[in-house]
Amino acid sequence: MTPSTHTFSARLNETAELIETHLQALLADNLRHGEIARPSRLMAAMRHAVLGGGKRLRPFLTIEAARLFGAEGQGPLRAGSAVELLHCYSLVHDDLPSMDDDDLRRGRPTVHRAYDEATAILVGDALQTLAFEVLADPETDSDAAVRSDLVLGLARASGLGGMVGGQLLDLTAEGRYGAVAMGEAEVRQLQMMKTGAILTFSAEAGAILGRADADARRSLVEYGRALGAAFQVADDILDREASSEALGKRTGKDREKGKATLVDLLGLDGAKRECRQLVEKADAALASFGDRAQILRDAVRFVVEREV
């Protein structure tokens, strides 16, 4: 383990703990402003969906990108938590019987397994709402233009033209709405929508919080896109190579369902080569920030090399 990797892991874990604490507070039983009641079953199921798991990669990106522009503390922590809530909602809904029908997530029963389907749908719905509520709350940033920009960015990344649209394309790719033959362009588009858009926004959110100028903000977007693409290729490679135990979920599912992955289209070697190229692309996007951006460069390597 190189010293840089060691520092990176330590910082990633430290941030994950901060995020966990913040998410616990957001999902506690005590009422916040404007709420009529917090139904206990809903809160327990939301905590099941969100707490105690995950690398919290998305908030990490937001927090480290914000730090690059001198923004620290409550704002990046809250914005990062919002992105994580949005991500968790997508996992809860993706796991549903009518979607991917998964029983396990991070080695634990999925929400519809631990509770029931109706509760899982409502958990996802309420997590999405909470993500936008957290971003729009003045506690996230005193400047309403920043808050509004964060809401708009997360909405665009996660809606019909981003994450949700990507999930629909993913179901289409399984052939459930008729036979499909997806080429490289279609698979890349699907992946950019389903996972890339939110990862990109995670980095961009830091630039928004840090009042980055247009050029710097664009650099973070380019970085996020390269990281998001690398994440997905790495995921396709993992799906082919890793064992079910290590991932804590079923693997090889994409092939089972006849979905084309980038590994199918590029071959295993081709996919690994693409990973390396995307790492270089992410590095290049951060060139103007020099050494201060090292932790974000490390993040891309982590994404590509992660074993779990």
Chain positions contacting a copy of itself, by CB under 8 A: 31-39, 41-43, 46, 89, 93, 96, 98-99, 116-119, 121-122, 124-126, 128-130, 132-133, 135-138, 143-145, 147-149, 151-153, 155-162, 164-169, 171-172, 176-177, 189, 192-193, 197
Query: E strand or H helix at 241, and its extent?
Result: helix 214-241
**Least distance from a copy of itself to the Cβ atom of residue 129, Å:** 3
Nearer to a copy of itself, 34 or 290 (CB): 34
Residue 292 structure tokens? 């201060």
Cα→Cα distances 183→188, 261, 264, 266, 273, Å: 9, 10, 10, 11, 19
Tell me whether residue 159 or residue 248 sits nearer to a copy of itself (CB atom).
159
Residue with Cβ nearer a copy of itself (16 or 173): 173
The least distance separating a copy of itself from the CB of residue 31, rounded to whole angstroms, comes to 7
**Residue 33 CB, nearest distance to a copy of itself (Å)?**
7
- Separation of CA 48 from chain center: 18
Alpha helix (H) ranges present in 95-183?
A: 111-114, 117-136, 144-158, 163-173
Neighbours of 140 (CB within 10 A): 23
Q: How far is the CB of 177 from a copy of itself (least distance, A)?
A: 6
Least CB distance to a copy of itself at residue 89 (A):
8
Amino acid (1-letter code) at residue 256: E
Helix (H, G, I), strand (E, B) or coil at 44: helix
Q: Which is nearer to a copy of itself, 130 or 234 (CB)?
A: 130
